[in-house]
Amino acid sequence: MLPDLERKLLRILYNYASQHHRMPTMQGLEIMAGRTKQEIKSALLMLEKERYIEWEDKSSLETIKIIEGWEREPEVIKRPAPKVSAQYWTEY
């Protein structure tokens, strides 16, 4: 599960890129996210580490490529169903 800022940036990048067919500028991202440049850069590096985005040239946001635009669903652990036998119902 992504922290709030990383999830917010991922959604901003995805929606902005789909509407404008390019990535936002750092100044635009600062305004949209309401965070500082340093906070945004560290969050983007975390998104890259978690393989949500690819970011080759760190000096430009234009080189960001979105791999996954949505947060991954946590894996659900399936527990085996309890075994019910007739003995439970017939023996007190």
pTM confidence score: 0.77
Q: Give the pLDDT confidence of 15-55 residue by residue, as tens digits.
A: 999 999 999 999 999 999 999 999 999 999 999 999 999 99
Domains, the chain: 4-66 (1.10.10.10)
Where are any strands of DSSP class E within the chain?
53-55, 64-66
Indicate the pairing of strand 53-55 with strand 64-66.
Answer: antiparallel
Please give the average per-residue pLDDT across 53-70, as a whole number.
Answer: 91
Output the average pLDDT for the chain. 88
- How far, in Å, CA of 76 to CA of 92, rounded? 36
Give the other-Cβ count within 10 Å of 28's Cβ: 14
Q: Measured between alpha carbons, how far is residue 13 from residues 29, 70, 71, 81, 84 in Å?
A: 8, 11, 13, 42, 51
